[in-house]
Amino acid sequence: MAIPESSGIHGPGHVKLLAFAGRAHKPRHPRANHYNNLLLYSSMTLGIDEPVEKPLLATLRGERRAVPPMWLMRQAGRYLPEYRELRAAKGGFLDLATDSGTAAEVTLQPIRRFGFDGAILFSDILMVPWALGQHLWFETGEGPRLAPPLVDAALAALQPAPERLDPVYDTVRRVVADLPPATTMLGFAGSPWTVATYMVAGQGSRDQGATRRMAYRDPAAFQAIVTAIEAMTVDYLSGQIAAGVEAVQLFDSWSGSLAPAEFERWVIAPTARIVAALRERHLDTPVIGFPKGAGAKLAGYARETGITAVGVDETIDPAWANDALPVGMPVQGNLDPLALITGGAAMRGAVDRILAAFAGRPHVFNLGHGILPDTPIAHVEALISMIRGR
C-alpha cells in the first residue's frame, strides 16, 4: 500500500508502521486485505512512535479476536449519573447536542468510566431532518417533534440548512483530540426509512402508519423525501469522517414495520445507495448497518446493501444469525437490554450463548438496542468483566 505524502509518515517511522502492519492477524473478511495496512496509522497523527492497535476497528475490518471488542448503543446517556448532572445543568437535549464542548464531554463519559473499545458520537438521528429545514424540538416526556410534518406539507417548502450540522463535526474533532489511542471513534446517522417516519408524521409513532400509508399511496412523493434524506445523510456522514470518525453506523430503528417488498424498496435500496456513495468518498471506512426488527430479512439486508458489518437486535437468535449471514461478515450484538438490567445468571447465560454463536466470525459485543435509563452501573461493570475476563 502506498501511504500518501500528505500523511506526514516518512523515514524510520514509516518503516516501523509497515512492519507492524505486516504482523496483523490473518483477515477473515474480503476487505480485510485492503484494510490491514491502514489498521493503525491514525495513531501517527498523535505523534506516537509506534502505532496503537484499535481492536474495534480491526474487527470491523474483518479480524476475528479471542476477546471481542465492545461498546454499547446509547452508552452515553441517562443511566450515567455524570450525564444526568450535565443534562440538568444544560437544559434541553438539542442544546446539549449542539454545544460541541458539552457533547464531546458526554461522548467521553462512558469511555472514562468503562474503557469501552468504541466511543460513539453523542447526537441524534433527527439532525438530518433539521438540516433539511424542518423545525426540531424535544417535548419533555414525549420525545422529538418536527414541523411541518410532511404528511401535510411539501418537501419543496423546506429550506435546507446544512450549516446546522457544523457543531456535530466540531464535537467529533474535540472527542478525537481527547480519545485514548486504542479507542475507535464511531459516527452515525439514521437510515432513510426511519428518518422519514419522523419527517412525515412529525413525531414518533407506534406503527409508523402515516408513513407507510404515504409510501403506498404516493410512492413518488415518498421517494423524493427518501432521496433528500439519502443525499443529506451521505454529506453528513462524510463530514463526520472528515472530522475524525473511523467507522459509521446506520440506524434503521423502525425497519421491522415494513412488509418484505417495502423493506426491499425503502430499507435495502436506500441503504445500498448510501453505502455506495460513502465508498466513493471514503473507501476504507467501515459501515455498520443496523435494521432493528428485520427478522428473517436480515440476511438479505446484509448481502444486498454492501455494508461492512451488520448489527443484530435482541429478537434474533444469534445461532440463526451466524448461519444465515454471509460467511466472514463482522456482526455486532446482541444482548437484550433487559438482560443487562436483570444481571446475574440471566445475563451470564445470554452472554455465553452470544459468544458461542459468533465465536467463528468477527464479533463486536453490543446490546440488541440501546441501553435503558434504569440500567445499574454495577451490571455494566459485570458485563465488561464477563467479556474481557475470559
Residue with cell 445500498: 272
Per the annotation, the verdict on 124 as an active-site residue is yes
53 within 8 A of 68, measured Cβ to Cβ: no
Per the annotation, the verdict on 79 as an active-site residue is no
Instruction: Respond yes or no: is residue 353 known to be catalytic.
Output: no
For the chain, how far is it from start to end, CA to CA, in angstroms?
A: 36
* Residue 198 among the catalytic residues: yes
What is the residue-wise DSSP string for 101-113? HHHHHHHHHHHHH
Tell me the C-alpha distance between 105 and 117, whole Å: 17
Q: What are 9's three cell numbers?
A: 509518515
Closest C-alpha among 349, 303, 342 to residue 326: 303
| 8 A C-beta contact, residue 164 and residue 124 | no
Catalytic one among 28, 61, 64, 87?
87
Q: Of residues 28, 64, 74, 145, which has the active-site annotation?
A: 74
Catalytic residue among 64, 79, 117, 124: 124
Catalytic residue among 35, 83, 169, 198: 198
Distance (Å, whole) CA 84 – CA 63: 36
- Asked if 329 and 309 touch (Cβ cutoff 8 Å), the reply is yes
Assess whether 74 carries a catalytic annotation. yes
What gap in Å lies between CA 340 and CA 143, rounded to an integer? 24
Residue 59 sits at φ, ψ, to 5 deg, of -65, -45
Q: How many residues does the chain have?
A: 390
Residue of 78, 279, 303, 353 marked catalytic: 78
- For the annotated catalytic residues, the residue numbers are 74, 78, 87, 124, 198
